[in-house]
Amino acid sequence: MALNFLPRFAHQSLIAAMTALAITACGGGGGTGNNTAADTTNPVINLNGATAVNHEQGTAYTDTLVTAVDNTDGAIAVTTSGAVGTEPGTYTLTYTARDAAGNPATATRTVTVTAPAVCIASTDDSSDASLTIPSYYGYTSAQTYSGYSLVWSDEFSATSLDQDSWTFETGNSGWGNNELQYYRPENTCVREGLLIIEAKEESFGGAAYTSSRIKTQDKQSFRYGRIDIRAVTPEGQGLWPALWMLGQSFSTVGWPNSGEIDIMEMIGGSGRENTTHGTVHWSDNGSHTYYGGELTLADGETLASVFHVFTIIWDSNSITWYIDDIQVHFMDITPASMAAFREEFFFIFNVAVGGNWPGSPNATTVFPQRMLVDYVRVFQKD
């Protein structure tokens, strides 16, 4: 029988080829190839806060610091798209990150902007939760007057206080009157055509009560004219609502040098809610001087039971006070010592609690209490 043998050189070549194939299959060899797996993992975005948040209208929204990390690149940059508006509504912020290999990550946060809490229905007093706006019954003034033009008004027809015209004052003690409240913006709201300032019995800022005080200083100031303010006052021992004015020079000359015109003040308790007070304060050769008058309503009516219109008619010679077009008081302002009343004045509306004049609340005082203002209008002679 014949035997067939490969030539020696062919046999050696076959062995070498098979050996090389085995080495290659096992990943061996003397090469330097990179066998690292490709990065296909997405980065992770951390919102560092909730995915849905509520924010109250009136203050700037500040977002939390959003970060991203990648398992290969470590910390990477995050870009944000979208914005939170100033009007009530729901806004979406979108965050995007991309690693060096191009792997993306996306996350979102919704921000719901809500109108300030409506102070007419206090959530801390369940018995008050169903309270509704009182009747608009009461006196209403004319919208026009012969020989006068309307130069400014606030009808409080928006959904929040017009901060182009008004500024909140904050703090406690009433700046010298030993009052008991802390003034804060949260106690003011605008609803159904009314400005509402609410006094509440609650601890805040070292005070036992809270309320609000707003002013038009450096925004709306006037010299002379007819001013009508339609309002309902709060009631009860220790309540002290006021619709008044200070001289625009107050920030430079101080009080009483600036002059003060109290269009309406009411002192609550002991049946005093039926009396409106109109007063001026000024400096007479360095001494604080004041002069005022009052009118008491008849037939059991009070400043808290229905709307009344509180008016002053003011010119270079005099100031005359009215309630519902009935004269309350008259003041001659021609003396040289009363020169402050021939300058511009700005408005202040507030509800004080306690203080030197009304005294403190007692067990008969019911909280919350509110002053409602329908409008303020300034007319000046043509």
Question: Is residue 214 in a domain?
Answer: yes
Residues 109, 188 within the same domain:
no
Question: Is residue 127 in a domain?
Answer: no
* CATH number where 76 lies: 2.60.40.10
- Please tell me which residue in 265, 273, 294, 301 is annotated as part of the active site: 265
CA geometry: angle 353, 209, 238, nearest 5 deg: 25
179 is catalytic: no
Residues 261, 207 within the same domain:
yes
Residues 312, 356 within the same domain:
yes
* CATH number where 219 lies: 2.60.120.200
Q: What is the pLDDT of residue 377?
A: 98
Residues 213, 81 within the same domain:
no
Residues 181, 260 within the same domain:
yes
Instruction: For residues 247 and 286, give the distance between their C-alpha atoms in angstroms, rounded to a whole number.
Output: 16
Residues 209, 342 within the same domain:
yes
Kind and range of the H or E run holding 108: strand 104-114
Each residue's pLDDT tens digit in the chain (382 positions)?
A: 444 444 444 444 444 444 444 444 444 444 445 566 888 999 999 999 899 998 877 668 899 899 999 999 999 999 999 999 988 789 999 999 999 999 999 999 999 987 655 455 343 443 344 455 666 689 999 999 999 999 999 999 998 999 999 999 999 867 778 899 999 999 999 988 999 999 999 999 999 999 999 999 999 999 999 999 999 999 999 999 999 999 999 999 999 999 999 999 999 999 999 999 999 999 999 999 999 999 999 988 999 999 999 999 999 999 999 999 999 999 999 999 999 999 999 999 999 999 999 999 999 999 999 999 999 999 999 9
Q: Given the DSSP bridges, would you call strands 308-314 and 225-232 parallel, antiparallel or unpaired?
A: antiparallel
Question: Is residue 119 in a domain?
Answer: no
265 is catalytic: yes
Q: What is the pLDDT of residue 176?
A: 76
Question: Is residue 293 in a domain?
Answer: yes
Residues 250, 364 within the same domain:
yes
Residues 317, 214 within the same domain:
yes
Question: Is residue 296 in a domain?
Answer: yes
- Token pair in block for residue 19: 């050996």
Residues 60, 207 within the same domain:
no
Residues 208, 295 within the same domain:
yes
Residue whose C-alpha is closest to residue 267's, from 179, 194, 338, 347: 179
- Token pair in block for residue 331: 């003041």
* Tally of domains in the chain: 2
Residues 49, 110 within the same domain:
yes
Query: Each residue of 328-367: pLDDT tens digit?
Result: 999 999 999 999 999 999 999 999 999 999 999 999 999 9
- Token pair in block for residue 169: 């004052």
Question: Is residue 267 in a domain?
Answer: yes
Instruction: For residues 17 and 30, give the distance between their C-alpha atoms in angstroms, rounded to a whole number.
Output: 16
C-alpha separations of 37 from 40, 42, 73, 199, 366 in Å: 9, 15, 15, 69, 75
Q: Which domain holds residue 144?
A: 137-381
Helix, strand, or coil here: 148?
strand
Residues 63, 212 within the same domain:
no
Instruction: For residues 209 and 267, give the distance between their C-alpha atoms in angstroms, rounded to a whole number.
Output: 17
Question: Is residue 63 in a domain?
Answer: yes
- Please tell me which residue in 260, 294, 343, 344 is annotated as part of the active site: 260
Its pTM stands at 0.69
Question: Is residue 253 in a domain?
Answer: yes
